[in-house]
């Protein structure tokens, strides 16, 4: 299958299975989304949502988070794992937002990535889903599937991001990011995966041409 055929088929199958993928993390404003994404590292979205349901009752702004303090933050987010490091980062990024950005989450990669605990992937999530600016966040699911589908070589998340941005139109990046995550969790898992059982791998890794989508 040619690369262009493969990309077209993948896009159509993702649209079929996950036409309107929701953001899996609960949030009420850019700050709570930022904190939720920081907490999501090495933690399931379900667990994060359980923790933030408590955390955001106490602190849903940078100012309130600073007042809460590191020890109380750590106590609340303990179920997420790596809570000592995450609590310090959440406290310090809240401080930085208050002191440098007037309590507002900044709108640029450079400024977001200057915040403690905020890397490129976290910044990309905020840029894409909150500010609706061009970004293609790459998590472990997306990195795995991009290599598995032959869209990237798996050498680095940076290369995966670059290749996926070339594969899909910019207008689709936000949607594709979510769709691939949901697909990876549902059909194309890291362990126990069988190509023949996967709605995408079973087609793109076979010698058959992908089925044509009917018009209308």
Q: List residues with catalytic annotation.
A: 121, 139
Q: DSSP letter at 19?
A: S
| CA 68/CA 58 separation, integer angstroms | 8
- 142 Rama class: left (phi>0) / alpha (psi -120 to 50) / beta: alpha
> Can you count the helices (H) and strands (E) in the chain?
12, 0
CA–CA distances in Å: residue 2 to residues 126, 154, 208: 34, 19, 11
- Token pair 């929701």 is found at 22
Both ends of the chain: CA-CA distance in Å? 24
CB 112 within 8 A of CB 122: yes
Q: Where are the beta strands (DSSP E) in the chain?
A: none
């Amino acid at each position: 299958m040619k690369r262009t055929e493969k990309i077209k088929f993948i896009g159509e199958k993702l649209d079929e299975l996950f036409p309107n993928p929701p953001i899996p993390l609960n949030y009420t404003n850019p700050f709570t989304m930022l904190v939720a994404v920081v907490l999501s590292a090495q933690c399931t979205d379900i667990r994060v949502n359980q923790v933030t349901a408590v955390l955001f009752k106490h602190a849903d702004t940078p100012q309130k988070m600073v007042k809460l303090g590191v020890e109380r933050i750590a106590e609340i987010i303990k179920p997420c794992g790596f809570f000592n490091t995450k609590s310090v980062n959440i406290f310090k990024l809240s401080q930085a937002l208050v002191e440098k950005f007037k309590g507002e989450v900044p709108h640029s990669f450079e400024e977001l990535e200057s915040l403690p605990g905020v890397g490129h992937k976290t910044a990309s999530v905020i840029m894409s889903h909150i500010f609706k600016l061009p970004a293609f966040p790459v998590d472990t699911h997306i990195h795995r599937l991009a290599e598995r589908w032959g869209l990237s070589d798996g050498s680095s998340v940076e290369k995966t991001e670059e290749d996926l941005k070339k594969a899909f139109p910019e207008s689709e990046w936000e949607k594709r990011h979510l769709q691939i995550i949901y697909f990876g969790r549902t059909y194309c898992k890291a362990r126990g995966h069988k190509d023949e059982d996967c709605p995408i791998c079973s087609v793109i890794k076979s010698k058959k041409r992908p089925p044509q989508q009917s018009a209308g």
